[in-house]
Amino acid sequence: MIDAIRAFEGGSCRQLLAMVDRRTWRLERFPAVFFALHHTREGWVLVDTGYGGRFHAATRRFPARLYRWSTPVQEAGSAAAALTAAGIPAGEVRHLIVTHFHADHVGGLAEFPQATIHHHEEALRPLRALPAWRQVRAAFLADPVPDWLPERARLVPARAFEGRASASATFDLFGDGSVGLVHLPGHAPGQLGISFALGGRRLLYAADAYWRACQITDGVEPLPVAMALQWDRRAYRQTVGRLRALHARGEYELHACHDVGVAARLNQLSPMR
């Protein structure tokens, strides 16, 4: 059972909002939110890490420097330090779920060598296989991914989702129904969302399956230049369609990593802790 959540802004980047909503031509801050769920048996379960404190070091050289130029990033520093400052000893985090391997989600991964790292079995291999300049275009930096990852990784098998088209089909991470991993393909290879219940509400954290709520509520599609950055545009559209259907049915409260006010909304779910 999940009994608490703490969310953090692990840095941010600035982009034209019109890239997503097609009408607001101003630069907007897109936070890189990550959060910790408290499981009554397993302790703190971290979901992503934000940019971490090494983004600028990791993008000093070409071609990685192109990433820094295309998305101006403000770092928020170490993810482990943010947790510890919030009363969550980072060394006690036993599980870390990587939704996908974009640099704004795994920047602090190396700070949690004691944790079991859960990720989709097809999340990393296709990105690693790309030439360096195409990795940058795919928002992947090899540098923040620690060498020890293979020893600490517990892969979520692709077959867990086969033949299950609904975005609500989940992989039961701890075997107790508390944390469901949901395959949300399209944005990045093997992207996972997280479903859980807290405070009597059912939530689905969709990571980057969509960026802003207008995509779900109004069906707005990002501009072609932003769609071109998706790993698989067809799958992306299907995933957004499934999330829109879930939203319409009211089954889950949806949250996405880079939406406005996400960290504050998640923290409101367990204000007592």
Binding site for Zn ion (CB under 5 A): 102, 208
Closest approach of Zn ion to the CB of residue 3, in Å:
29
* Amino acid at the residue 184: L
Q: Is 245 in a helix, a strand, or coil?
A: helix
Closest approach of Zn ion to the CB of residue 208, in Å:
4
Query: 91: buried, middle or exposed (CB in 10 Å: 19+, 13-18, 0-12)?
Result: middle
Question: Which CB, 102 or 118, lies closer to Zn ion?
Answer: 102
**Both tokens assigned to 197:** 């219940």
Residue ranges of E strands in the chain: 2-16, 27-39, 43-47, 73-74, 95-97, 116-120, 153-156, 170-172, 180-183, 192-198, 201-205, 253-255
Q: How far is CA 22 from CA 19, 71, 186, 226, in A?
A: 6, 18, 20, 10
Question: Which CB, 208 or 259, lies closer to Zn ion?
Answer: 208
Contacts of 37 (CB under 8 A, 6+ apart): 2, 4, 5, 44, 45, 47, 179, 194, 196, 198
Question: Which CB, 33 or 37, lies closer to Zn ion?
Answer: 33
Helix (H) or strand (E) run with residue 249 in it = helix 233-249
Closest approach of Zn ion to the CB of residue 236, in Å:
11
Closest approach of Zn ion to the CB of residue 64, in Å:
16
Closest approach of Zn ion to the CB of residue 48, in Å:
10
Beta bridge partners of 183: 192
CB atoms inside a 10 Å sphere around CB 18? 17
**Both tokens assigned to 53:** 């404190």
Closest approach of Zn ion to the CB of residue 259, in Å:
13
Q: Do the beta carbons of residue 175 and residue 205 sit within 8 Å?
A: no
Closest approach of Zn ion to the CB of residue 91, in Å:
27
Question: Which CB, 1 or 16, lies closer to Zn ion?
Answer: 16
Question: Which CB, 90 or 108, lies closer to Zn ion?
Answer: 108
Closest approach of Zn ion to the CB of residue 190, in Å:
12
3-state helix, strand, coil in the chain (%, to 5): 30, 25, 45
Question: Which CB, 21 or 208, lies closer to Zn ion?
Answer: 208
d(CA 6, CA 44): 10
Question: Which CB, 208 or 221, lies closer to Zn ion?
Answer: 208
Question: Which CB, 48 or 111, lies closer to Zn ion?
Answer: 48
